[in-house]
Amino acid sequence: MSLVAGHGPLSGNPAGWFSGALPADLVFVEPHPRRVTAVRDGRTVLDTERALMVHRPGQFLSYVFPVDEVPVDEFGGLPTEPEPEAPGYVHVPWDAVDTWYEEGRQLVYYPPNPYHRVDCRPTTRRLRVDIGEVTLVDTTDTVIVFETSLEPVLYVDPAHVRTDLLRRSELSTYCNYKGASTYWMAVVGDTVVENVAWSYEQVLPESSAIAGYLSFEPTKAEVLAELPARARDSVDCGCET
Tell me the pLDDT tens digit for each residue of 212-238.
999 999 999 999 999 997 644 544 433
Domain shared by 151 and 206, yes or no: yes
Domain shared by 89 and 167, yes or no: no
d(CA 153, CA 47): 37
CATH number of the domain that residue 216 is part of: 2.170.150.40
| Residue 128 located in a structural domain | yes
Domain shared by 83 and 124, yes or no: no
pLDDT on residue 76: 61
**Which residue from 50, 3, 57, 5 is spatially nearest to 27, judged by alpha carbons?**
57
**More confident of the two residues 231 and 196:** 196
pLDDT band at 73 (very low <50, low <70, confident <90, very high): low
Arithmetic mean of pLDDT, 43-56? 94
**More confident of the two residues 148 and 2:** 148
| Residue 145 located in a structural domain | yes
Domain shared by 87 and 127, yes or no: no
Q: What percent of the chain has pLDDT over 90?
A: 66
Boundary-marking domain end, from 44, 74, 107: 107
pLDDT on residue 195: 97
Domain shared by 149 and 228, yes or no: yes
**More confident of the two residues 127 and 9:** 127
Q: What is the four-CA torsion angle of 83, 87, 89, 92, rounded to 10 degrees?
A: 20
**More confident of the two residues 48 and 2:** 48
pLDDT on residue 234: 46
User: Domain limits at 189?
Assistant: 118-234
Structural domain total, the chain: 2
